[in-house]
């Protein structure tokens, strides 16, 4: 009996470890895909003058339809059940508009005014927003580590925005504002949908959220009025953004988030910054100055500093 119990415990530990590794792989893959398709978006804006609102609406609606169709075919019960609970349905709509839609549009709008690497770096301030949310919701002051992380975040943002020149901005105000808003939206969909993710899975939450957010943005911005002219290279870039960087990456991240939680996901997703910077430099020949690299270093230091706090920081989120 004792041996059987030990064997069962060991088997359970292996299964838990395997699930954790699966969740980590999902987050890392999502980060890589987001970094790559961020460079695809920069390519579209520079070469074709593509409208970020049109691109965001398209990517979200198509990805949402694909995921909803997939969910209906594989787990019809969950796809229907999520709308039978009023609070869960409301949370799905909230995450779709203020999390998924805002993050997608703000990220692309910021790239349109700057570049994929810089936008991704500033978006990566989202752990600071999560930390502030935790402090407010638990009615406590930030710890010394958390205050240091805020200082690093401010230094990193200053380095990227000004290149050390106190007299002026080296990126546009719009690029900075959209990048910051993108990070806030990432924090929103990292914190709030955990309960519905556990109940229904990542496909219903992501699929409906994408579809709702995409339709809302399309109608509000009248995206159908955009003038779009693309050749085969442009179509390939758009397809990559829609299929790889939206439907696949967002589902992988939400799946990984539901397994490993916000704290570990925040650390693992840092691969997105490296991927976005690499593709911007190697493919699009974007030049980064010394102060850009310093800004990246400050923000990555902040990122890992907060990630090390783990459950102590994210206890109110998980």
Give the per-residue pLDDT at 309: 63
**Residue spans per domain, the chain:** 40-314
What is the rounded CA–CA span in Å between residue 181 and residue 184?
5
pTM of the model: 0.86
What is the rounded CA–CA span in Å between residue 232 and residue 238?
10
pLDDT along the chain (318 residues), means of 10: 49 61 92 95 95 96 94 96 97 96 96 94 90 88 89 92 76 93 93 91 94 96 92 96 91 87 78 92 92 92 77 49
CB atoms within 10 A of CB 247: 23
- Phi, psi dihedral angles at 230 (to 5 degrees): -130, 145
Burial of 14 (0-12, 13-18, 19+ CB in 10 A): exposed
What is the rounded CA–CA span in Å between residue 258 and residue 171?
35
From the list 48, 99, 70, the residue with the least C-alpha distance to 230 is 48
Residues 99 and 216 sit within 8 Å (Cβ to Cβ):
no
Q: Determine the length of the chain.
A: 318
Q: Which residues, 6+ apart, have CB-to-CB distance to 41 below 8 Å?
A: 50, 52, 55, 108, 111, 112, 116, 237, 241
């Amino acid at each position: 009996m004792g041996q059987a119990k030990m064997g069962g415990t060991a088997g359970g530990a292996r299964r838990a470890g395997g699930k954790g590794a699966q969740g980590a792989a999902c987050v890392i893959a999502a980060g890589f895909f987001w970094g790559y398709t961020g460079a695809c978006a920069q390519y579209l804006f520079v070469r074709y003058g593509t409208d970020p609102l049109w691109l965001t609406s398209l990517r979200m609606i198509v990805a949402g339809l694909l995921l909803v169709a997939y969910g209906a075919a594989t787990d019809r019960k969950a796809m229907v059940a999520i709308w039978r609970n009023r609070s869960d349905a409301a949370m799905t709509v909230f995450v779709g508009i203020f999390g998924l839609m805002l993050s997608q549009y703000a990220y692309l709008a910021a790239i349109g005014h700057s570049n994929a690497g810089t936008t991704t770096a500033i978006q990566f301030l989202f752990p600071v927003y999560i930390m502030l949310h935790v402090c407010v919701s638990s009615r406590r002051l930030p710890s010394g580590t958390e205050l240091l992380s805020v200082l690093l975040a401010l230094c990193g943002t200053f380095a990227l925005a000004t290149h050390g020149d106190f007299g002026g901005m080296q990126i546009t105000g719009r690029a900075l504002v959209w990048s910051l808003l993108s990070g806030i939206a990432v924090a929103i969909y990292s914190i709030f949908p955990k309960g519905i993710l556990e109940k229904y899975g990542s496909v219903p939450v992501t699929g409906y959220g994408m579809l709702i957010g995409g339709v809302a943005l399309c109608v509000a911005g009248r995206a159908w009025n955009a003038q779009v002219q693309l050749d085969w290279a442009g179509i390939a870039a758009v397809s990559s953004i829609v299929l790889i960087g939206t439907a696949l990456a967002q589902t992988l991240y939400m799946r990984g988030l539901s397994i490993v939680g916000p704290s570990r996901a925040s650390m693992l997703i840092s691969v997105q910054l490296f991927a976005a910077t690499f593709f911007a430099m190697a493919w699009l020949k974007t030049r980064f100055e010394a102060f850009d690299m310093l800004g990246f270093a400050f923000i990555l230091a902040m990122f890992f500093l907060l990630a090390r706090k783990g459950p102590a920081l994210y206890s109110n989120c998980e």
